[in-house]
Structures are given as structure tokens and as C-alpha cells.
Amino acid sequence: MHEELRVKGERAREASYKLTTVATEVKNNALLAMADALEDNEEKILEANMQDMEAGRVRGMNKSLLDRLMLSSARIKDMAQGLRTLVSISDPVGEIESMWKGAQDIEIGKMRVPLGVIGIIYEARPNVTVDAAGLCLKTGNAVILRGSSDALRSNCAITNIIAKAAESAGAPGGSIQLIETSGREIALEMMKLNQYLDVLIPRGGAGLIQSVVTNATVPVIETGIGNCHVYVDSWAKLDDAEEIIVNAKTQRPAVCNAAESLLVHEAVAQEFLPSVGKRFRELGVELRGCSRTRELLCEAKQATEEDYATEFLDLILSVKVVDSLEEAMAHIHKYGTKHSEAIITENYTNARQFLQGVDAAAVYVNASTRFTDGFQFGFGAEIGISTQKLHARGPMGLKELTTVKYIIYGNGQSRK
Amino acid sequence: MHEELRVKGERAREASYKLTTVATEVKNNALLAMADALEDNEEKILEANMQDMEAGRVRGMNKSLLDRLMLSSARIKDMAQGLRTLVSISDPVGEIESMWKGAQDIEIGKMRVPLGVIGIIYEARPNVTVDAAGLCLKTGNAVILRGSSDALRSNCAITNIIAKAAESAGAPGGSIQLIETSGREIALEMMKLNQYLDVLIPRGGAGLIQSVVTNATVPVIETGIGNCHVYVDSWAKLDDAEEIIVNAKTQRPAVCNAAESLLVHEAVAQEFLPSVGKRFRELGVELRGCSRTRELLCEAKQATEEDYATEFLDLILSVKVVDSLEEAMAHIHKYGTKHSEAIITENYTNARQFLQGVDAAAVYVNASTRFTDGFQFGFGAEIGISTQKLHARGPMGLKELTTVKYIIYGNGQSRK
């Protein structure tokens, strides 16, 4: 095993053991100290970031990657503010979810506890360093961060500053650590670090996530892609339907909860499609439709099988006219990625059938898929949106960074 | 991909889509039909099992493995009875765990839904075939079973009978399937069958579990080993302590929630150890202790580091005298496997400190570790005891074979 992984793994284990019983107040004080330290050390961070940016330019990193990598005074303030926001969110650790009597009247309670040590593997976005460290600390987890080597100088500077600040405010040493060795080998080894890591969360694009899912033996929480649909039923209020699909497609097209596909019941297609088509034309959205769509919207291109399966993350929308609710649901079953799906309808039975029958992290009646988000759901913070079914599904708040343990109060009981 | 995996994977996916909305009554009727069919076809099953047994004897399978493989009229009745018991347990699917208002007053509910398709990999115990099929069906999951080739004839006979019975009672075809191709290659391929399987549960010994954890890319629920401790505090009622450690060690030594190690506070060691030592002597338990233990119990052998780290699953107990609660907890932290840990004490603060500070699936005050069990906890059924922290921890009931989805009721909301 790589020496850095062993040393930091051991340290993280020790820190996590101590973190279990650190008071909420101490964790909050540490978050505030981290926020202050970021702002106080702005210059150091910007200096390190400038070096990363310079090296990136020399290596020919593209503009959007450079933009993600770049820090500024305002971005550092945002990161600090993010930490301060975590203070006001209630600490899930120690919560007893329920308590009941088991065999021989032993009293059994289900208590929320930290996961332990969390590994985060991410790309060249230094803000993830702060965000992940804050979320893990608030939930009593030690964290081992592994960012892209493109952001190594920025991440080192940030980690040194926040880890020191957290420790000075009472957090155990080793609560926040960064892997500084570059290269694919150590990343692969980290994915198999079962003896130190309780869970691994990749944060980044599809390639990174796929690599982690394929290579990790540590349990992974997968955050993934969203090929989201809006189905306009024959019973839809068409005005609402138009607002919702326009919002779901265009309000922020590059995110996973944006809609990629519009399904329209044939009974309303003739009325609905020309009107919504006009809106999309004005907004610069390219439409790719089935032949029935194209009869009503001559500007739409012919949609291919692949179009229906694609998460465009762009101002492109696939469109299909369907004969029934069942056909819409079958289409979603075939092409969807189980992220967010919506039906627009006033029909009670159709709404229920869609809610129950569609398998996705979030299923909507008469609202935009764009609401699939920790803040919109009221969780106060978001780790990401899980597209797997184990442990966490949909928007993940602080609670999803914890697990449970059973605590049992007896008075001398033995098993019969 | 192996053709059998592809065909059965596709079929399972289709079945799971339909199972999502199958009524509880239909699932219960299918369970009853499966139970009846097992009993009605006893002869066929016993015939197939005799062939497996015969082949096992020829290959030189050892006696305890043969015993696990063997079916009898009584064992078939037990399996049928197990299915009937599932009928009375309430169906978790469709339960709304909570409902609240999010942004713009969208109403958000958290609904229990099936996981989808579950893969079960297990050893030569044909009863697991029935047990797993019943649990998966009750929770609306399609199941793909993969037992040991040693039990292939028995498993084929059983699966044909119960799958047919379930289908005739209204369950979708493909809900229960068995992989019949033998060999390690197909097992390894099944562990990477992410496109069809939502979760993989290995049921068997440490070797099988380790192989699955190491090789699987499908999310795994790990059920594992238990190196469980009982700590007798200086404030313990010693009579209770004696009953509890004797129960935890000897009531069923071969199971994961049995105690493997006894820790005794030095203030009570002189009074406690000779008395409990006598009990263990009578019960034929071999003791392996630290030097302070051996001063008080001359029959105890010297315990090694390895003894403290071993899950004996036998009438062997490691013993250590400790100076403090903190030393006991540090010992558990070092050697424990996070399964079940107990403190015996009348001291309020010590009890709380142990409950909060010990990281294990189940932490007890004044009760035997043997209670870590789905039935004892009141879950009505048990899939196994999870020793991982993601998704499920401790005894797993029906709920742990489900996940959640968010359902959202809106009235036209778009994201701002």
C-alpha cells in the first residue's frame, strides 16, 4: 500500500473514532473557524490557485475547465459562507429515529451515527475541497480528499488552512486530509482502501463516476446522469404544462435534473405542440421529434433512438407523441435513467398510476423536474443527487452522510 | 456476456417493472401457493436432493456440508412454513415515511419501493433458495438466484416448483429465476451485472463474502463476521454479568452474535472471574486470558494478539482484565468487527459513554449480544445481519430489501 494512504488512513480512523463523540457545538465552532481562516488567508489561496491556473494554461486546459479551477476573492467568500450555512442546519448525529420493545422487553433504539471515514474523489474544482470537508465534519465523519492533480496546489493550500483551523477549534487532528500524491495508481488504490474507508463518493463527470464504480471495492455512493422526461397527459392543464416543460428544459440546461425529453398524449398534441414549439423557438431550443411531432412542428428534426437515450445537458429536447399513459411510462422505463420524471395531468387515477409505476428517485405530478435538489427539498445542504438505490436515493442531505446503530437497554436479559 | 445471464437479466428487469405495482394480496397469494407447491412436490424435491447428496458423497464433501445440503420431509415443511409466515408481516412497499413541504409549497413524500432486481449468491443450502425467493417476492423485487453447483439439482427442482406456483397465483413471470450454469466465470460475471442487478447479497461463509466484496461492481450488502465483546464494568451487577456472558458465549457458539471476548474491570476481576470461570469449566469452554486473568484463573491459557482478533465460533473465549472503561472501549475499537458489543453496568454515565462511543451495529447495556437478530428485534423476518454501514446495518428485515423514492405533488410550480 502507498505510504501516504496508510499514514493518512490510520490518522483518519483515529480521528473518526474521536469525532463520534465530539459535541455539536465544537463541530460548529470548527466550521466557523474554517470559514474565517479561508477569508483570512485569501492571498495564500489565490497565489496557489494562480500557479495551478498558469500550469493549466501551459498544458492547454480548455476554457470551461479553467473557469472551474479558478478562484477569486468572491469565490473564496462563497466557500466560507457555505461553511457558515452548515452551522445552522441541525446535526443528525445522535438522533434516535425510533424506539420500541423487542424480545423479553429489551428496549431497542435506532440512533444516527457518523459513517466513519469518507473518501471523496473529485475533479479540478477547489470549492469541492471546502464543501466536502464541511459536510463531513458537520456529520462527524473524517474525510480523505483526493482532487485532480490540476488543482493540487489550490487544494493543498485550502486543506492546510481549514484543517489547522478546525483542529484549533477542537476537532481531532486528522479529521480533514488531502492525498497529495498524483497519478492514477494511487487513485485506484484509494478505491480499494476498505480497511480505512467506509464509503467513497465520486464527485464529477460521468467518466470519473464510471471509473470509481468499476474499480472500487469500497462501497460507493453514485451520483449520476439524468435523462428526465415531462409527460403531458390528455388531462393536462396545457398552460401549466407549457410553463413546466419550458422551465425544466431551459432554466438551467446543463444540470442533471433538467428535462431532456417531452412526451405528449396524442389527444392534446395538436393544441399543445405548436404553442410550446413557438416558445422553444424563441428560446433557441433545438427539437428532435418523432414523425407525429414533425407533422405539427415542421422545424423539428427527426429523433433517433439515440436521441431518446441521450442526456443532452444543452438546449436540445427530444419529443414524442404517445397514444396513452402506458406508452409514456413504457418509454420512460426504456430510456429513463431513474432520476426525475414528471406527469402533467388533472386526472386523479393517471397521477397515481404514474407516481406508483415510474421507477425514479423523484416522481412529480404537476411540477418541474428542476426541484430535485437538496435545497429545494428543504434539506439545507446537498452532497449530490444519488441515482443508485442503496443507502441514499435522490437529493442527499446531511442525514445521508450518516448511518444508524441500534442501542439496546436491557436489565439483565439473556437469549432464550 | 453469458447468454443465460442476459436472458434471465432481461426477464428479471421486466418482472421487476411489473412487480412494482402488484398488490400486496397478490404477493401474499403467491407466497401461499409457493408453500403449498413445495409440500405437494416433496417427492420431486427429495429425489433431486438425493442425487445432489449422492454426488456430494462421491466427491467427498464433509459431513457438516452434507448436513446443510440434505433435505427431508420436515425441512421442506419448515421451508413452506417460512413462506407462510411472510404473509402475516406487513408489506413495506408503498409506505410513506414522511411528507413535508419544500420550495414553493411543493408537497414531498418519501415512499418505500422495491429495490428492483436482487442477486443472491449462496452456498450449498437449498433452503436459502426458498427463503430468499420469498423475501424478495414479498418486497416486490425480482430475484436471480445463484447457489452452489453442489446443490444445483435441488435448487432447480425447488425453483421450478415455486416459480411456477408464484406465476399461477398472479406474480409476473421471471420474478424468481435460478442461474443454472456452473462455474466460477459466470459467478464473477454476475457480480458485475450492473445493467440488470440493483443489489447483490452474498449469503454464506467469510470466503464467499470476501470474494463478492472484492469482485463485485454491483452494490453489495455485506453480512459478515462478529468478534463480539462483553465488558463487565466495575459497577456491574455481577450475577447479571455472569448470566449474560455465559449466554452470549454458550447459548449458540457458532453464530455471529455470540460473544468471543470477555473484558473485566480490575476492581471486580477478583470476585467475578473465579465464579464465572467455574461456570465455563462446567460448560467446557476453553479460556484464553491475559496475565492478570491467569493469576485468577489458573486453567486459562495465555491469550495471544491473534486470540483477541479471532471470531472463534466455538467454545473458546478470550479474556482480558482492563483498568478502565476507556481501556475496554479502546480494546473493542482495536479488535472488534462492529457487530454487537455489550457493557454490564449500573453506572449511568458509563452506560451512556459506552452506547455513544462504541461503533458497532448493535450496542447493548445489560443484555446479551445474542439478541442481534431480526426476529428478536421484532422485524418478523431476517435477511441477514449487515456489518457494513451503507444502506442497512445490523439485522435486516423486509424494509432493508426496499429503497425509497420521492413523490412530489405540485400544482404547476416551476423552479425560480
Please report the pLDDT score of residue A272 as a whole number: 98
Same domain, B234 and B202: no
Name B220's bridge partners: B200
User: Of A172, A195, A199, A193, which is closest to residue A16 (Cα–Cα)?
Assistant: A172
B102 Cβ partners below 8 Å, 6+ apart? A371, A376, A377, A378, B108, B408
Question: How confident is the model over A317-341, as pLDDT tens digits?
Answer: 999 999 999 999 999 999 999 999 9
Q: Does the structure show a pLDDT above 80 at B224?
A: no
pLDDT of residue A292: 97
Whether A136 and A183 map to the same domain: the answer is: yes
CB B373 within 8 A of CB B394: no
CB contact under 8 Å between A372 and B406, yes or no, is yes
Between CA B407 and CA B93 the distance in angstroms is: 14
A240 with A328, same domain: the answer is yes
Q: Do residues B137 and B175 make contact, with C-beta atoms less than 8 angstroms apart?
A: yes
Instruction: Compare CB distances from B102 to A100, A243, A377 and report the shortest one's residue.
Output: A377
Q: Report CA dihedral (A10, A176, A168, A37) to the nearest 10 degrees.
A: 160
**CB contacts, 8 Å: B99 with chain A:** none
Grid coordinates belonging to B270: 477478583
A210 and A91 in one domain? Answer: yes
pLDDT of residue B207: 86
Task: Kindly state whether residues A298 and A365 are assigned to the same domain.
Answer: yes
* Residues A358, A322 within the same domain: yes
C-alpha to C-alpha distance for A163 and A180, rounded to whole angstroms: 14
Yes or no, beta carbons of A102 and B411 under 8 Å apart: no
B98 close to B111: Cβ distance less than 8 angstroms: no
Look at A21 and B356 and tell me if their CB atoms are within 8 Å.
yes
Q: How does pLDDT run across A265-292, given as a tens digit for each residue? A: 999 999 999 999 999 999 999 999 999 9
Report how far residue B173's alpha carbon sits from residue B14's, in angstroms, rounded to the nearest whole number.
9
Which of A115, A335, A210 is closest to B217 using CA atoms? A210
Q: What is the pLDDT of residues B205-220, one digit of tens each?
A: 888 988 998 899 898 9
Q: Which of A395, A263, A265, A267 has the alpha carbon at shortest distance from A342?
A: A263
Looking at residue A380, what is its pLDDT?
Answer: 86
Claim to verify: residue B48 and residue B161 sit in the same structural domain: yes
Q: What is the mean pLDDT of chain A?
A: 95
A104-130 tens-digit pLDDT = 999 999 999 999 999 999 998 999 999
pLDDT at A238 over 90: yes
Q: Does the beta-carbon distance from B415 to A370 stay under 8 Å?
A: yes
Which residues of A are less than 8 Å from B378 in CB distance?
100-103, 108
CA torsion through residues A154, A157, A160, A161, sign:
negative
Whether A401 and A326 map to the same domain: the answer is no
Q: Answer whether residue B386 is part of any domain.
A: no
Total domains in the fold of chain B? 2
Digit-coded pLDDT (tens) for B321-363: 999 999 999 999 999 999 999 999 999 999 999 999 999 999 9
**What share of chain A in percent tops pLDDT 90?**
90
Q: Is residue B210 part of a domain?
A: yes
Are A140 and A190 contained in the same domain? yes
Q: How far apart are CA A29 and CA A36, in angstroms?
A: 11
More confident call, A208 vs B242 = B242
Q: Is the pLDDT of residue A225 over 90?
A: no
Q: Per the domain annotation, does B388 fall within a domain? A: no
CATH of the domain at B86: 3.40.605.10
Q: Is pLDDT of A300 > 90?
A: yes
Confirm whether A186 is domain-assigned.
yes
| Same domain for B165 and B39 | yes
Over residues B9-59, the pLDDT tens digits come to 999 999 999 999 899 999 999 999 999 999 999 999 999 999 999 999 999
pLDDT in tens, B302-316: 999 999 999 999 999
For residue A21, is pLDDT > 80? yes
Q: What would the pLDDT profile of A143-163 be if each residue is shown by its tens digit?
A: 999 999 999 999 999 999 999
The enclosing domain of A238 has a CATH number of 3.40.309.10
The mean predicted confidence, pLDDT, of chain B is 95
The per-residue pLDDT for A64 is 86
pLDDT category at B204 given cuts 50, 70, 90 is confident
**Chain B interface test: which of A13, A244, A332, A376 (most B C-beta within 10 Å):** A376
Encode pLDDT of A240-272 as tens digits: 999 999 999 999 998 899 999 999 999 999 999
- The verdict on B201 and B233 lying in the same domain is no
How far apart CA B351 and CA A315 sit, in angstroms, is 59
Specify if B251 maps to a domain: yes
B377 contacts A406? CB cut-off 8 A: yes
Phi, psi angles (nearest 5°) of residue B407: -115, 135
A277 domain-assigned = yes
Contact present, A102 and A108 (Cβ < 8 Å): yes
| Rounded CA separation A294/A275 (Å) | 14
Q: According to the model, what pLDDT value does residue B265 have?
A: 98
User: What is the rounded CA–CA span in Å between residue A401 and residue A3?
Assistant: 27
Whole-number pLDDT of residue B292: 97
Domain that holds residue A93: 3-222+396-409
Encode pLDDT of B256-306 as tens digits.
Answer: 999 999 999 999 999 999 999 999 999 999 999 999 999 999 999 999 999
Q: Are residues A134 and A196 in the same domain?
A: yes
pTM of structure: 0.89
Name the CA radius of gyration of chain B, rounded: 24
B390 lies in some domain: no
pLDDT in tens, A344-399: 999 999 999 999 999 999 999 999 999 999 999 999 888 889 988 989 999 999 99
From CA A375, how far away is CA A90, in angstroms rounded? 14
| Contact status, residue A158 vs residue A82, Cβ threshold 8 Å | no
Establish if A342 belongs to a structural domain.
Answer: yes
